[in-house]
Chain A
Amino acid sequence: MADPIMLESSEPMNKEITRHELSFVRRYLFSTDHKVIAKQYLTLSLFWAVIGAATAYLIRWQIAHPDTEAFGWGYIEPQVYNSLVTMHGTIMVFFVAMPLLLSVFGNFLIPLMIGAKDMAFPKLNALSFWIFLLSSLVLFVSFFVPGGAAAAGWTGYPPLSAKNEYTGGSYGMDLWLLSLALEFASFLLGGINFLTTTMNMRAPGLTWFRLPVIVWMQLTAAVIFMLSVGPLVAGAILLLMDRNLGTTFYLADGGGDPLLWQHLFWFFGHPEVYVLLLPGVGIILEVIAVFARKPVFAFRPIIYATIVAGFLSFIVWAHHQYISGMDPRLAMPFSITTIIISVPFALIIFSIIATLWGSNMSLKSPMLFALGTLGVFIFGGLTGIFNGSAPVDIYIHDTYFVVAHFHYTLFSNVFFGGFAGIYFWFPKMFGRMMNETLGKIHFWLTFLFFNGVFIPMHLVGLRGMMRRIANPMQYEFLKPIEPLNMFITMMAILLILSQLVFVINFFWSLMRGQVAEDNPWQSNTLEWTTSSPPPHENFDTTPAVYRWPYDYSLPDAPADWLPQNNSDPSANAAER
């Protein structure tokens, strides 16, 4: 029986509280505890990351050594190559990035950071995971059906995606659509949980502007996702109808228009990249504040800029369609809005840099990854300006320049940012410290090889190499860049192999890592006020909050950090 003193409210005793009596199945598989659910998402997203990396390896092999047998796999047929390219994008965006950045960190951190026992709707939270697992199964199965996995690009443009005879596939595409529909449902439900929990369950004293930045970022991402995914759901229904009911929404010979899909897809697709970006930015801001021992610079402007960027993200979508055959008069307005959206993000980036300025940095692994995220993302953001301007984009669209651009912006947030978050919150999640030396090795190898892969890729793109082609050597004008492609492939293989350092570190630390104290990083946010890992229901008593999260290195304070539940009146809060 649970100790009654532990119960904060007068809710009746139920099975959830006497956790030690729960079976393995109830405790780990069908748990409604947000921390367990976060770990379930972590497991699944890391599993998909391995598969996504495998697709990347095969793609790079084929490009560098076309029509040879890939080591460990065999010959890659052109149709299979199309599936690989499609599934690499689909897996990395929807089955690695989304769950890792949003579900893992959002689920784990939000209740803890606001001083709550769990999410507002714990059972719905569990359901969200199980729907996501179902969508994963559907996608996984699609590899093995006749005709193979979807092969129309992660963007699924019709008529390629609408007519099976164009890709040679069949069920794979329908399963792809079904899997995404399930996944969207899962994330919609998750977003509802994040938003309602934060609106209703903040600890006493925790006003909106005392929330850690990452919570703001997760919420904005949830809202952006929620409001943008609808048209794509509609579009997917239309595509399913075209594929299965003989309709012609996207087929010109029936009076439809393929461009309709593009608009519906990118209306979601562009806000989606900010859904991915914002949690990454949130993670690195938290990490940087802690390891620079400085308050987040321009905290409120960052939040306002984030919301403004969220709005703007809905009016830039056609910059993905400059050469699609859409009305050319749309090119200028969308170029303008695209340039404008770089302003709030520039504000955020400059604020991060200002946070670092003059600080006494401690370069532990989480910090290295956070700094790596920042540097890599800035580089990617700069190439985004080229892509966003129609005159330049007409030349570089559908080349590897774009691929290089989005890997800089995405990989930075998903992997560098994700690793920063994992290294930082691993002690809280699992009660053990990760090995610092292995962490540093992992960072430098990843950083080195990542740039080794993607810097030359800009050149490859500018030389004119098109996306998604299985054999560049068919084209005379691409033969001179064959050495570059081979170099990139070699770097990619080394990049993938470097991740073994992380895998070893992760599992070794889980089992044998140094036991973590409550607050090994001396961080101010509320999750660090409870044990590592936190008990079921998180806090012995609901914390009361007296300050914002970033009272680091205050001149007249007793210590260089002041947790949010610290009520010492002699330490003036730095919040503004």
Chain B
Amino acid sequence: MNSQAAAMSGVETPVGKNGTWWFLASEIPIFGGLIAAYIVMRLGSAGWSDASSHLNFNIALTNTFLLLTSSMTIVMAHAAVQNSALKRGANFLGLTILLGLGFLGMKAFEYGTEISHGFLPSSGIFWSFYYGMTGLHALHVLAGIVVNVVLWSQAVKGSLARHPHRVELAGLYWHLVDIIWIFLFPLLYLA
């Protein structure tokens, strides 16, 4: 972080948080555009219920819990690091990473079974949207996991003490990814 920025901050909020929020603001229309397209095409269609009935509801429900819980663990990590409890922070970060990997693992398994049943992106427009939306989301989960791993290793080594606020920033991104899933789950699996 630019130290002049820290010294001269016109607003009390540090640069990193501002930058991260602007980044999140730019991510919202990306998923928003995709979801809006899905919503209108589904509403204008016969309903796509036949296709969506082939989704594995239980896996998705499990994934929802995994992601929700990881949202909690990452903010706990932030609280711990803020109170200089680096080891506790590292542990919570580690939990977050494991939960995220669990999400991706389940997703991969889910894709695997769907593909083996012959449901590909080209199998119809519902599937096209399903793979597109969950695929893009999964890529974002992966990116978040990478960031979390970097921070976790810094927490373990102790170098995170120099910039503890980064856990909060990583958390903000991670929560966005969780919020997107909060909407994807009902849109795809409950509708």
Task: Check whether chain A touches chain B (CB < 8 angstroms).
Answer: yes
A residues apposed to B, CB below 8 Å: 8-9, 11, 116-122, 124, 188, 191-193, 195-197, 199-204, 226-235, 237-238, 241, 245-249, 254-257, 260, 264, 267, 542
Query: Roughly how many angstroms separate A235 CA and B34 CA in the complex, as a whole number?
Result: 7
- Nearest-neighbor residue (CB-CB) of B32 within chain A: A230
Residue B58 interfacial (CB < 8 Å): no
User: A196-B18, A230-B32, A260-B41 are contacts. A122–B2 as well, Cβ < 8 Å?
Assistant: yes
A11-B3 CB under 8 A given contacts A121-B19, A195-B18, A227-B26: yes
Q: Given the complex, which residues of A lie within 8 Å of B34, measured CB to CB?
A: 234, 237-238
A187 to B, closest residue via Cβ = B26
Known contacts being A196-B19, A233-B33, is A247 close to B26, with CB within 8 Å?
A: no
Partner of B4, one of A196, A201, A235: A201
A193 neighbours in B (Cβ, 8 Å): 19
Q: Which residues of A contact B7 (CB under 8 A)?
A: 9
How far is it, in angstroms, between the C-alpha of A201 and the C-alpha of B15 when the chains are bound?
9
Given A199-B11, A241-B128, A245-B122, A227 and B29 contact (CB-CB distance below 8 Å): yes
Answer whether A227 and B132 are a contact pair too, CB < 8 Å, given A120-B2, A195-B18.
no
A466 to chain B, nearest CB (A): 30
User: By the criterion CB–CB under 8 Å, are B25 and A255 in contact?
Assistant: no
Any chain A CB within 8 A of the CB of B191?
no
> Chain B nearest CB: distance from A511 CB in Å?
34
> Could you pull out 14 A-B pairs where Cβ atoms are within 8 angstroms?
A118-B2, A120-B18, A122-B2, A188-B26, A195-B18, A201-B15, A202-B10, A231-B33, A234-B30, A234-B32, A247-B132, A249-B132, A256-B128, A257-B41
Q: Which residues of A contact B59 (CB under 8 A)?
A: none
How far, in whole Å, are A230 and B34 apart by their CA atoms in the complex? 9
In this assembly, does B61 line the interface, its C-beta being within 8 Å of a C-beta of chain A?
no
| Contact between chains at B26 and A226 (CB < 8 Å) | yes
Q: Is B36 at the interface (CB under 8 A from chain A)?
A: yes
Tell me how far the C-beta of B188 lies from the nearest C-beta in chain A, rounded to whole angstroms.
Answer: 16
Inter-subunit contact A192/B22 (CB<8 Å):
yes
User: Which A residue sits closest to B13, measured CB to CB?
Assistant: A200
Per a CB cutoff under 8 Å, which of A9, A121, A228 touches B3?
A9
Is the pair A200, B122 in contact by a Cβ cutoff of 8 Å? no
Contact: A227 with B25, CB < 8 Å?
yes
Task: Give residues 1-56 of B contacting A (CB, 8 Å).
Answer: 1-5, 7-11, 13-15, 18-19, 22-23, 25-34, 36-37, 41, 45
Main SS of chain A's interface residues? helix
The yes or no answer to B187 lying at the interface (CB within 8 A) is no
Q: B10 touching A255 by the CB < 8 A rule? A: no
Question: With A120-B19, A196-B18 in contact, is A264–B33 under 8 Å at CB?
Answer: yes
Contact A230 B33 (CB under 8 A): yes
* Bound-complex Cα distance A192 to B22 (A): 6
- Docked Cα-Cα span, A95 to B9, in Å, equals 33
Across-interface contacts of A264 in B (CB, < 8 A): 33, 37
Of residues 151 through 182 on chain B, the ones whose CB sits less than 8 Å from some CB of chain A are none
> 19 other contacts beyond A117-B4, A200-B5, A246-B121, with CB at 8 A cut-off?
A116-B8, A119-B2, A121-B2, A192-B19, A196-B5, A197-B5, A199-B10, A200-B11, A232-B33, A234-B30, A247-B131, A248-B128, A249-B128, A254-B125, A255-B124, A255-B125, A256-B128, A264-B33, A264-B37
A291 to B74, CA, bound (A): 55
Asked if B143 is at the interface of the complex by the 8 Å CB criterion, the answer is: no
Q: Is B136 an interface residue (CB 8 A)?
A: yes
Instruction: Please give, as numbers and ranges, the residues of chain B lying within 8 Å of A260 by CB-CB distance.
Output: 37, 41
Considering the chains assembled together, what is the distance between the CA atoms of A8 and B7 in angstroms? 10
Taking a contact as CB atoms closer than 8 A, the residue among A117, A122, A199 that contacts B18 in the complex is A199
Residue of A nearest to B7 (CB): A9
Most buried by B among A118, A122, A238: A238
Is B120 at the interface (CB under 8 A from chain A)?
Answer: yes
Q: Do A234 and B31 touch across chains, with their CB atoms under 8 A apart? A: yes
Q: Tell me which of A196, A199, A233, A234 contacts B37 (CB under 8 A).
A: A234
How many angstroms from the CA of A199 to the CA of B18 in the assembled complex?
8
Cα-based distance from A256 to B122 in the complex (angstroms): 12
Q: By the criterion CB–CB under 8 Å, are B125 and A230 in contact?
A: no
